[in-house]
Structure 1
């Protein structure tokens, strides 16, 4: 494959920089960024050959129009969305775009909505007899007795649309559950699942019309210190029945594009249970890269009809976050973390966006941040 030019259509998304790192790692891709907002750390990244943003006010049609202009100006070969909003919007609007042929594979909008909403996914899994924890969908302000009849406590109460463990609550008994639901606005839907004691794993895939093109299975090694957050340490390099299950799920959905599926295996069972589907790039994407599967590059190759890169993960460990980096350069700690098992290389290669993000957090915590200021417009940025 000759050198290609890729436009990341949502360069302000948290998924964009890991995707850009993967594309640059191939040595064959020129990366351009387009952002819907101006004030984002990715604008300072050295990974982008050009970077353009709309400003502070987002308009969907203007965003799509400017992407089209950028494609013409820079001779873009591939347009790649990385996070939920851009993936869904470009899929929904692709029939009216003059540059549809340049898009990577994307899921159908209806399929995306079914899979990424925990409530509709639970119904889909039940209808198609896929294994999942005992589940029910309840609505705040309405009786939940019949819905909960098949569940045992403790349970997890989850908002249908959330990621990274946000908004999940644990209810030890029916009293806890009723008190929580009563505190929520009437009409809000919630997914309730029996808590499964066991361990987490995930399967990341790239698909075309329901068929898995590439996959990487990861198992949790070191859990997060925060409840319901992704594991800090993971291991790649072997496939289990979880990968086979995910392949069946993707086929049933008719999925196209990337996805990351969270699963859990109970302590007293070897049957993986499907928890949720993330229809975007995932937080451990750099771990997949270290395991030898470059999903963003494979997505480009698939769009161009030239799939050549490795599609099977090798044995590898990956430890996320700044703490893991510090541990890796100070002896490795109890897990003997090595620098190559962290994102240290990516940090050294492109240090300004993380530094900008850290500075923003420090300033937001400062008393100065609470002083009244006059907000001024930010003009579009082009470089």
Structure 2
């Protein structure tokens, strides 16, 4: 274990910052500072925060860099640790303007841009012989040439990462034609073959393309919208899956964390990479419970501290929404505190409740306003 050290999360407005802090709370030797472009994000009220800084987003990257460096220097902070795409990309673009000794593991801007765009990623995987679903940019498709696809197909934005926003399934050519004929249709989207199989994810920490830690998860409870984040996952290990992911991250010489979405294709009997989310992820606390503390290992690797590749428990994990669904199905689960505490997100709500209360209060307030406005 490291002696005491400090870190700054510069993009605390991201909901993922709370999951990162909850994992770091397991290590009392870490002092956490957070900067955000919102005055009152939930993370501000976390019991694990030493100091919070509000810095409004002016749209000027150089001002962001200056403010970040000022905080790093004033409080003698050891490590800069962005958690979301926007923060990671910004710091990757301006690496030379930060103290190299304080930078966490950050991918090069070239590799980041390949990973975050579903289109450039698909072209990269084609060149490097990584299994992936057939993909096409809609703007490159000749007019009315929709019969070239084998249906069903999926249409998705090229850049929106995670969350399933904007992802749509078309079972017939007529459905796709009707959709693209709408006035507000955005042609800069990806059309991708639909894979008949099951969903898997792989969470990673890498250094120069080498996987230092990983967990693998199979979706065990989907959201009402199957393209939205999963509510329950079954942790597992599969050698073939690992080899595919390892080859991809080596080809990108990846630095830092990433979460990969894949699908097992029943037809070809292999795993295919759907997308890379070049950031921390929503089931991060599940990985922590399984035995892999990705944020802390990120700190170790960034500070050039060696550690053995961690093993992890193969169990089923549920987030709060998934737990709610499980209780609805089996109300006796309410009386099984050991299960709820050991295998769900609930333990982190109990340990650090105020940010979660504020998060859902804001959420319900937004819903009420939208309904009565």
TM-score with structure 2 setting the length: 0.91
Q: Distance in 1 between matches of 2:15 and 2:31?
A: 20
Alpha-carbon shift at residue 325 of structure 1 (Å): 5.7
Kindly indicate whether the alpha-carbon contact (under 8 Å) linking 2:125 and 2:131 is maintained by their aligned counterparts in 1.
Answer: yes
Question: Which sits farther off after the overlay, 181-190 or 19-28?
Answer: 181-190
Equivalent position of 1:308 in the other structure: 307
- Number of the residue aligned with 1:160: 158
1:136 paired residue number: 136
> In the alignment, is the contact (CA less than 8 A) between 1:115 and 1:121 conserved in 2?
yes
Deviates more, 1:261-270 or 1:206-215: 261-270
Which of 356, 360, 368 pairs up with 1:366? 368
Other-structure match for 1:100: 100
The size of the alignment, in residue pairs, is 367
Q: In 2, distance between residues paired with 1:346 and 1:304?
A: 27
Q: Does residue 1:21 correspond to 2:19, yes or no?
A: no
Q: Could you tell me whether the CA contact under 8 Å between 1:140 and 1:188 is conserved in 2? A: no
For 1:49-60, list aligned pairs within 5 A. Answer: 49-55=50-56, 57-60=58-61
Unaligned 5+ segments in structure 2 are none
**TM-score normalised to structure 1 length:** 0.88
Shift of 1:311: 2.5
Whether the aligned pair in 2 keeps the contact of 1:37 and 1:54 (CA below 8 Å) is yes
Does the 8 Å CA contact 2:231/2:321 hold for their aligned counterparts?
A: no
**Cα deviations by residue, 1:313-351 (Å, 9 ceiling, x for unpaired):** 232321012451685695338x99533111112111211
Query: How does 1:1-383 map onto structure 2 within 5 Å?
Result: 1-55=2-56, 57-97=58-98, 99-139=99-139, 143=143, 145=145, 149=148, 151-162=149-160, 163-183=162-182, 185=184, 188-308=187-307, 311-324=310-323, 327=326, 330-332=331-333, 338-366=340-368
Query: Using a 3 Å threshold, how does the CA distance of structure 1 residues 247 and 184 change in structure 2: closer, same or farther?
Result: farther
Output the CA distance in 2 between the equivalents of 1:309 and 1:24: 21
Change (3 A) 1:94 1:263: same
Q: Cα distance 1:323–1:187, how it changes in 2: closer, same or farther (>3 A)?
A: closer
Report the Cα distance in structure 2 between the residues aligned to 1:19 and 1:28, rounded to whole angstroms: 15
- 1: distance between equivalents of 2:196 and 2:322? 27
* Structure 2 CA distance for partners of 1:112 and 1:132, relative to 1, 3 Å: same
C-alpha distance in 2 between matches for 1:326 and 1:159: 29
SS at match of 1:274: strand
Distance in 1, matches of 2:185 and 2:213, equals: 43
Q: Indicate the SS of the match to 1:318.
A: strand
Q: Secondary structure at the match of 2:204?
A: strand
Gaps of 5+ in 1: 372-383
**SS state of the match for residue 178, structure 2?**
helix
Structure 1 contact 6–31 (Cα < 8 Å) conserved = yes
Q: Which runs of 4+ in 1 moved over 4 A?
A: 184-187, 325-330, 367-371
Q: Distance in 2 between matches of 1:337 and 1:182?
A: 50
Q: Which moved more, 1:45-54 or 1:219-228?
A: 219-228
1:235 deviates by 1.6
What is the distance in 2 between the residues matched to 1:309 and 1:26?
Answer: 17
